[in-house]
Amino acid sequence: MNQHNFRNEQKTIALISEYEAMSQQGTVGFYEETVFFEIIKHYESTENFDRALEVTNHAIRQHRFCPDFYLKKAQILLAQSRSGDALLCLDLAEVYAPAELEVQLLRVEALSAEGRSAAAFIILDVLKQQSNEEDLTYIYFCEALVYEDLEDFDRMFYALRRSALANPKNRQAVERIWLSVEMSQKYEESVQLHEQLIDSDPYSYIAWYNLGHAYFCLQRYREAADAFEYAYIINDTFEFAYRDCGEACIKAGDFKRALKCYTEALEHIKVDTDLLTRMGYCQEQEQEFLLAKSYYLEALDLDHYNDLAYFRLGECYFREGNWMTAIGYYRKAITIDKRKEEYLAALATAYHQTDQNDLALLFFRKSVDTAPEVAQYWVLYATFLLDMGKNQEALEVLEEALQHAGGPELLYGKIACMILLERKGEAFYLLHKALHVNFDRYESMFELVPSLEGDPEIMTMIAAYQTS
């Protein structure tokens, strides 16, 4: 903190102490308008709206003809969800400032909060006709808030687009756009809009950030990473941009770039357990297990209840072939979060590796019971049963899976089990159907039962569909 800011802070503290002392005595001395606003701002910043309202009422008594205090009172009342009282206050503000745009925009906000959106839109339509280009950005932004209250996110997006294009430096509008995009899923339109905004204001880190999110949702991860990177280059304390850039890099499979992003983040933001866990994951994917484990352990030093760090430590040891140590870390992760099917399946697999098959069976069952809609855990469960020579049980598991989850791998798995059980007639009938609908996934049958790849009847059927 520089000396100037320090002096201002000390001045504010002294002013607040003086006001509170007078308030306790029931008498508040005369203050200039600017001083009252400083006191109100202090209480608003701490979300002490009751005290902010009290100060505003004192200000109105001392400066009766100042419309700004009526506006401020209306804002505070809206923050307290007292929209009806806010409307009454705005009636008074309008007496002293009949042409003030802010009075009308606050009235729109209050009417919307009261569920009177039709009345709000009438005012907005009048304002659009009467206002200049400069004011339109605020009018369209206010219109967007009404649509938000109505949960009409399509129209909210278009109103925010008009607001932002009218003034690309309207930070409120640009910041709000992402909510409307997220709810309306207008990702392509968001890309186009933010490219326009960036052309007008290339140093808008919020616009770059929103662009990154749109790319991310379109699964254009490298472009998303580039946009997020521009956001944190412009604002090097923008924490979310670092995190999302790293996530986009991970999605793109560029773990080195993700690690670089997180390392840069540590130069500007406070280290935390999530960031360290992400850095560990990047090192793990690069097969730098020693470095990965050091990050996970550092993350656990900051948060002993970081279940993901325990799980990822287990994954490192598993990939190194240290099954027993992996089991220990998997169990710690599950102790913290018993409902993560990924943890349960990993523990089951590790138990199978150490021939603790009763426990493996128990945890495979728990994994599919926890997430019955996820096909991959049913496949892992069935694979385990096949490894144990329990072909009939594997078939029953896959038949159960098909009642809960979709995915061609389940059907192909069922076919594989039926062939193993010498039920070829039924199996080939289902295989014809599967090849017709999901030909490109037939290899999942061989992944479950590799020996079937040498079956001439199966290969003939596949070849027939390849040439058809």
Q: Is 14 within the bounds of a domain?
A: no
pLDDT number for residue 9: 75
Average pLDDT over residues 446-465: 91
**Residue-wise burial string across 426-445, b where 16 or more C-beta atoms lie within 10 A, e elsewhere:** ebbebbeebbeeeeeebebb
467 and 391 within one domain? yes
Q: Is 367 within the bounds of a domain?
A: yes
395 and 324 within one domain? no
Q: Is 214 within the bounds of a domain?
A: yes
CATH code: domain of residue 235:
1.25.40.10
Quick one: angle between helices 171-184 and 205-217, nearest 10?
Answer: 10
Q: Is 376 within the bounds of a domain?
A: no
pTM: 0.85
What are the pLDDT digits (tens) for 34-53? Answer: 999 999 999 998 899 999 99
What are the pLDDT digits (tens) for 160-195? Answer: 999 999 999 999 999 999 999 999 999 999 999 999
Q: Is 332 within the bounds of a domain?
A: yes
Q: What is the mean pLDDT of the chain?
A: 94
Which of 306, 339, 371 represents a domain boundary (last residue)? 371
Which of 307, 340, 371 represents a domain boundary (last residue)? 371
262 and 218 within one domain? yes
pLDDT number for residue 465: 85
Q: Could you tell me the two tokens for 245?
A: 């850039």
* Residue 397 domain boundaries: 385-468
Does position 383 have pLDDT exceeding 60, yes or no? yes
305 and 353 within one domain? yes
**Percentages helix, strand, coil for the chain, rounded to the nearest 5?**
80, 0, 20
Average pLDDT over residues 403-418: 95
391 and 360 within one domain? no
Q: Is 122 within the bounds of a domain?
A: no
Does position 14 have pLDDT exceeding 90, yes or no? no
Q: Is 69 within the bounds of a domain?
A: no
465 and 402 within one domain? yes
pLDDT category at 21 given cuts 50, 70, 90 is confident
pLDDT number for residue 320: 96
468 and 406 within one domain? yes
Map residue 386 onto helix, strand or coil. Answer: helix
Tell me 131's DSSP state. S
390 and 367 within one domain? no
Task: Let me know: does 376 contact 406? Beta carbons within 8 Å.
Answer: no
Nearest CA to 432 out of 395, 406, 465, 407 is that of: 465
pLDDT number for residue 2: 53
Q: Is 12 within the bounds of a domain?
A: no
Rounded Cα gap, residues 108 and 144, in angstroms: 11
Which of 371, 399, 418 represents a domain boundary (last residue)? 371
Number of domains in the chain: 3
pLDDT number for residue 22: 86
pLDDT number for residue 97: 86
Task: Let me know: does 160 contact 141? Beta carbons within 8 Å.
Answer: yes
Q: What φ, ψ does residue 449 adopt, rounded to 5°?
A: -130, 90
**Percent of the chain having pLDDT more than 70?**
98
pLDDT number for residue 468: 60
389 and 464 within one domain? yes
411 and 367 within one domain? no
